[in-house]
A and B are shown apart, each in its own frame.
Chain A
Amino acid sequence: MTGLHDAPVPSRREFLALSGGALGLSSLGLGAAWAQNKVELDPAAITNTDHATDVLVIGGGMAGLFAAVKAHDAGASTMMISKGRLGSSGLTPFAKGFFVYDPKTETESIDAFVDTVSRSALGTNNPVYTRQLAEHSLDRAAELKDWGFFDQNLANRSFMKPVTDRDIPLIERVVVTHLIKEDGRIAGAAGFRLDGEETVTIRAKTVILCTGAGGFKPSGFPVCDLTHDGSIMAYQIGAKITGKEWNDGHSGRSVNPADCYNGWGDMFDRVPSTSGVEVHHDLGVDLNYQAYMKGNPVAGGPQVATDDPVAGGPVTPEEFVRSFPAREGGPRDEAGGGPGGPPPGGRPGGPPADGEGGAPGGPPMRGYAMGGASAGMAIHKSEGLVPIDDRCASNIPGLYAAGDALGSHMAGGIYTQIGSSLAGSAVQGAIAGEAAAEFAAGIKAPSIPDTKLAEVKEEILAPLKREAGYGPAWVTQTLQGVMIPNFVLYIKKEPMMRAALAYIEELRDHHMPMLRAANMHELRLVFETRNMILSAEMKLRASLMRTESRCSHYRLDYPEMDTENWQAWINIFKDAEGRMQLVKQPFAAWPRQT
């Protein structure tokens, strides 16, 4: 099965519908689209620092922490590099629930737990990774407890403890833009410092991507620094990517929708805690369906008995249907009115998503529910590099991924076990760290030709050298106008997705090569914009290909689950001509190696 390049073009009406949105954005004073580049530094004066290590861990969240610690403890020289600060970037700072399977207290066996998750996930989970989560979560929680993770609301200090104790080199505020492959295996990575006029290259025997997932820099979910950086870099050098059709369905509130902090009640101030087995089927996108069919304010939320629910839409398996008490004040809350329900992630109004559930009793009143808080993000642990085994290895020798950068399908295409996201990152990080250290022990350091490094540096600095170009913020907002509306990636149907794809291809082919950057901050935005464009293309192509509805993927034109044709994940890769290709991989099977 191949990609969708020969798809019919959208109708004129569909194009106009979309272009109207994009044209609207151009008048909102978001900064110049095309403009001269008033570069604030001398690109010719930018120097390079070169490093070498056995194991390079990219990313400083929960997965990265355990990957580095376990690789080091297994005897490998290990280095960490992160776009932000350890424990203070990505989604780690905001996830406060940590799932622990404790055999002493749980009444259900691990086998039964895995079976329950698999039933809720409608077969979309990889039971090997689901089991791994349960088997290792208690040990990881114990280590975190020793480091003080459960004693404070901010993670940096507790994360620094094991890293400092082991003297693991840590470079923060470096944007990694390229993975380097030589002789068919991983050889290193390259990027640039935000705070200095410097590129950074790292020669590494193995690389573990702990780069999280990402979104379209949406409003109301603290994911704006994550743009699928790891999976897009890996895709560029031949890695397979999966899970792009799933949707996180968190909603925000209509008053100050971008205000993440207040939108989550007291979540961000809370100290992390552990929780036991509790398997759900939390959709969130069923609220998108209600809003699509009836307009807003929507009545109630997921699985809530409402005054007049709309039939149809995303389906929750009967075993997992939950009922919540109706909101006080009725379902038609107005902005600033009575109790407005919980924050995104709370119930109703969005899926609880792994211990990210809202505060009981709801947040400050901020109007009615509003969709797309996490737009561009799939389901935790189910979007990212395709694992070829149970040790987080990708199809590129020496390249591993863990946590939200790995498409392990640990939970499946829907949120199942509460708190499993944070725990899953810890568990997978540790496994990837040990696997990478083992791989590195048996091989020589890679050799990267100087010409290759010069070529990569040139690619990194190109936006700074452009005399004029498109502003990354404007291109991002154009992408948001195309991709975030409810009728594109939530309530999916073929004509609109094809229309959106035409837009994204235009951004990919015409705008992406001409992005400008005046400083290192804008250079970061350029690469984040590139990653969002390619992720958008993946999401559209995967959503078009999956001609059924299941879990968080809902097709208005294919509303039923298709167990005859779709007991399969979708893997995305770049072919020899550089085109995006999509293939099926049957559930419960590892991918065939090519």
Chain B
Amino acid sequence: MTINSINGCIGCEECVKSCPCDVIRLDKETGKAVILYPADCQICHLCRMYCPVDAIEIRPEKSIPVVVSWG
């Protein structure tokens, strides 16, 4: 599921800005961060590390099938 949930968001937008892949956006109505494009999450945890209130939970599985060279 990659980035899994955001609970306790304070709307600071740190995660939105620090995500290299534009996975998270701020909901204009609620002012809270939402996971909008999870398929593009590279599971790097930068959003979680920049979050000042530890609101983000991330799971290690990718939400779409992955292509590998061999394995």
* B49 and chain A: residue at smallest CB distance: A154
| Residue from the list A88, A89, A93, A480 in contact with B67, Cβ < 8 A | A480
Q: Are B49 and A370 in contact (CB under 8 A)?
A: no
Interface size on A, residues (CB 8 A): 58
Q: Are B42 and A222 in contact (CB under 8 A)?
A: yes
A257 neighbours in B (Cβ, 8 Å): 62, 66, 68, 71
A187 neighbours in B (Cβ, 8 Å): none
A85 neighbours in B (Cβ, 8 Å): 17-18
Q: Are A225 and B70 in contact (CB under 8 A)?
A: no
* B61 and chain A: residue at smallest CB distance: A256
- Tell me if A581 is interfacial: C-beta within 8 Å of chain B: no
Min distance, Cβ B60 to any Cβ of chain A, angstroms: 4
- Tell me if A291 is interfacial: C-beta within 8 Å of chain B: yes
| Residue from the list B39, B50, B65 in contact with A88, Cβ < 8 A | B50
Q: Are A252 and B68 in contact (CB under 8 A)?
A: yes
Highest count of chain A CB atoms <10 Å: which of B44, B45, B64: B44
Min distance, Cβ B64 to any Cβ of chain A, angstroms: 6
B39 neighbours in A (Cβ, 8 Å): 31, 473
Highest count of chain B CB atoms <10 Å: which of A85, A220, A254: A85
The stretch of A43-51, A199-207, A260-268, A567-575 that contacts the partner chain: A260-268
Q: Are B71 and A370 in contact (CB under 8 A)?
A: yes
* B2 and chain A: residue at smallest CB distance: A258
Instruction: Digitize B30-62: 1 where CB-to-A-CB distance is under 8 Å, 0 elsewhere.
Output: 000000110110111110011000000010111
Known: A172-B17, A256-B60, A261-B58. A224 touches B42 (CB 8 A): yes
Known: A88-B50, A224-B20. A288 touches B70 (CB 8 A): yes
In the assembly, what is the distance between CA of A172 and CA of B65, in Å? 30
Q: Are B18 and A296 in contact (CB under 8 A)?
A: no
| Residue from the list A30, A224, A262, A268 in contact with B60, Cβ < 8 A | A262
Min distance, Cβ A23 to any Cβ of chain B, angstroms: 14
Known: A222-B44, A256-B61. A156 touches B68 (CB 8 A): no
- Tell me if B21 is interfacial: C-beta within 8 Å of chain A: yes
Q: Are A368 and B44 in contact (CB under 8 A)?
A: no
In the assembly, what is the distance between CA of A154 and CA of B15, in Å? 13
Q: Are A225 and B69 in contact (CB under 8 A)?
A: no
Q: Are A219 and B18 in contact (CB under 8 A)?
A: no
Q: Are B36 and A260 in contact (CB under 8 A)?
A: no
A156 neighbours in B (Cβ, 8 Å): 18, 50
In the assembly, what is the distance between CA of A525 and CA of B66, in Å? 17
Known: A173-B17, A224-B21, A225-B21. A261 touches B66 (CB 8 A): no
Q: Are A292 and B70 in contact (CB under 8 A)?
A: yes
In the assembly, what is the distance between CA of A261 and CA of B49, in Å? 11
| Residue from the list B22, B44, B70, B71 in contact with A194, Cβ < 8 A | B22
B61 neighbours in A (Cβ, 8 Å): 256, 258-259
Known: A222-B20, A521-B36. A484 touches B43 (CB 8 A): no
Instruction: Digitize A352-377: 1 where CB-to-B-CB distance is under 8 Å, 0 elsewhere.
Output: 00000000000000001111110100
Nearest 5 Cβ contacts at the A-B interface = A372-B69, A370-B71, A371-B69, A258-B62, A225-B20
Q: Show the binding face of A for B, using Cβ within 8 Å.
A: 25, 28, 30-31, 84-85, 88-90, 93-94, 153-154, 156, 172-173, 194-195, 218-220, 222-225, 252, 254, 256-262, 268-269, 288, 291-292, 296, 368-373, 375, 473, 477, 480-481, 484-486, 490, 521, 524-525
Q: Show the binding face of B for A, using Cβ within 8 Å.
A: 2, 17-22, 25, 36-37, 39-40, 42-46, 49-50, 58, 60-62, 64-71
